[in-house]
Chains A and B, each alone.
Chain A
Amino acid sequence: MTIWLAVIGAGIGCYLLKLAGLSLPPRVLEHPVVERVADLIPVALLAALVAVQVFASEQSLVVDARLAGLATAFVLLLVRAPFLVVVFGAALVAALIRLWT
């Protein structure tokens, strides 16, 4: 039930954030600190999400097949592979490593 609450609540919240952007006067962005922080938030959050998804296992840090998946993704991004290839390529490498170890 609480997962439903998060899904609906955050979904509506994300819509309101979009609507606010189209409705607020653009001068809100004229404060340089607001602009820089707003701009750096996705960088910091996405980087933290990468790290936690790859190394965290509940409360501990581990190195496992997920790291090989991330390395695969890194290489695929370097050669400008499309999103789907990057994501499923990482999954494939992690699955193969688990199969052979």
Chain B
Amino acid sequence: MTTAGADRRAVIRDSLGVGIATGLYGTSFGAVAVASGLSVAQTCVLSVVMFTGASQFALVGVLAAGGTPLASALTALLLGSRNTLYGLRVGPLLDWRGARRVAAAHLLIDETTAMSLNRPDRSLARVGFLATGISIFVLWNLFTLLGAVAGQALGDPETYGLDAAVGAAFLALLWPRLSDSVNRVVALAAAALALALVPVTAAGIPVLAAGGVALLAGLLSKHVDPTEFPESDR
């Protein structure tokens, strides 16, 4: 009984740590989004409704590069498809149905997947998922607003290097997957293809086309990726 309570408290403590660290970087999303031309309202709605960091950064990044809203939306959706993959994995583990599943789905992101996978039982998996998801949701939205308001007050984003911050954010999101050698090859090929297409296609297309590298590599290789699901050891 006391051991179960201690396990629970340990999971909550770890989850809040991840929640605070992740929520804080909502500041960078808020600042980058207004620097890319979104209004403070659009930036905040994106964090509330989309609530998946890489897709949000992708949407504003493609818009900032001059891509059409359609290209930016498609890129965000393609990146968001990895959450489907996470859901297929954690769904049977969490086993929520009906309204609870509909509500929990909104919190299905890298961090909640990492903090609920590999738990010894369903109850601890659910605690990890909820404690991580709720703390990130609250802080991510709070700090998005803060970053957006601060970003708007700063003025010209290039003076503060905020345009350079976007590339850094994508590299940081990609980083954990680069520990696998096949992923590194795919990453380099995708980057090279995108750059080759920049001068000859409309903005936004190079990134979408790079998704073709994933398709090709997935069809050709028999490789199983060890970095497929996010780790909880952070």
Give the B-binding residues of A (Cβ under 8 A): 2-15, 17-24, 26, 28-29, 32-33, 35-56, 58-61, 65-66, 68-70, 72-74, 77, 82-84, 86-96, 98
Q: Is the CB of A60 within 8 A of B101?
A: no
Q: In the complex, how many angstroms separate the beta carbon of A58 from the nearest chain B beta carbon?
A: 6
Q: Is the CB of B50 within 8 A of A87?
A: no
B120 at interface by CB-CB < 8 Å: no
Query: Which of these, A15, A32, A66, A92, contacts B167 with CB under 8 Å?
Result: A66
- CB-CB under 8 A from B108, the residues of chain A are 18, 21-22
Q: Closest chain A residue to B26 by CB distance?
A: A84
Most buried by A among B45, B49, B218: B218
Q: Closest chain B residue to A54 by CB distance?
A: B167
How many contacts between A and B, using CB within 8 angstroms? 331
Q: Closest chain B residue to A65 by CB distance?
A: B164
- CB-CB under 8 A from B222, the residues of chain A are 32
State A35–B89 Cα separation when bound (angstroms): 11
- CB-CB under 8 A from A20, the residues of chain B are 84, 87
Query: Which of these, A11, A48, A65, A92, contacts B191 with CB under 8 Å?
Result: A48
- CB-CB under 8 A from A56, the residues of chain B are 65, 195, 198, 203, 206
